Amino acid sequence: LLDAAGITAARQLEVSSTAAIAAIRENMAFPVVMKVVGPIHKTEVGGVLLGIENEAQAVEAFNQLMRIKNATSVLIQEMVVGEELYCGAVKQGGFGHVVLCGLGGVFLELLNDTASALAPMSRQEVMGMITSLKGYALIEGYRSKKGLDKEKFIDVIMRVGALVHIAPEIAEIDLNPIKATENSMVVVDVRICIEK
């Protein structure tokens, strides 16, 4: 769905055996991140391992992650750096979807700093959403820290709005986190719920 919507996501590979780990070399370069598949809140169960440097560490990490309760497989992903942003949408009865944006990762729940609008939104509405955030200084850049790619963030939010507008069967979508730098915006985790 992200590919179809034109939203950049981290390269990844799902494996269910140690034998499949050799395929990492064909898909991405080390270091990689390994995440348990199954449990919803991966970080709460120790299900995210960062900075895996080689195949031997990947095999060790795979075995560790598969011991977690409800683990079904392991997602191996290129390691992406950047500040964490968030974009999501939730269906609101007969009104359509509300699209939200804000700081991502743990900051989303910790600071509860989000802005929202009804999909589909204009570019001007999305710009207003972003500038209304308390954490806007992080996006704009402060002191000697460079800002993030605001135009790409606007683009991601608009694409999420367009996606849920043309696919109303999506009940909920969360892109969290989106790793952002001054010139990139890459989704590293996505959760999508479809209405039956």
pLDDT score, position 45: 87
The DSSP bridge partners found for residue 52 are 32
Return contacts of 37-45, CB within 8 angstroms, 24+ apart: 37/71, 37/72, 37/73, 37/74, 37/75, 38/68, 38/70, 38/71, 38/72, 38/73, 39/68, 39/69, 39/70, 39/71, 40/191, 43/106, 45/69
Nearest to 56 by CA among 91, 79, 32, 80: 32
> How far apart, in whole angstroms, are the C-alpha atoms of residue 21 and residue 81?
23
Question: What angle do the packed helices 150-166 and 123-131 form, to 10 degrees?
Answer: 120
**pLDDT for position 155:** 97
pLDDT at residue 129, rounded to an integer: 97
pLDDT of res. 107? 73
Entry pTM:
0.88
CA distance 123 to 117: 11
pLDDT at res. 111: 78
CA proximity to 47, closest of 30, 34, 31: 34
Whole-angstrom CA distances from 129 to 55, 60, 154 are 43, 43, 9
User: Mean pLDDT per segment of 10 residues, for the chain of length 196 residues?
Assistant: 94 92 87 91 87 95 95 95 95 91 82 91 97 92 90 97 95 95 94 89
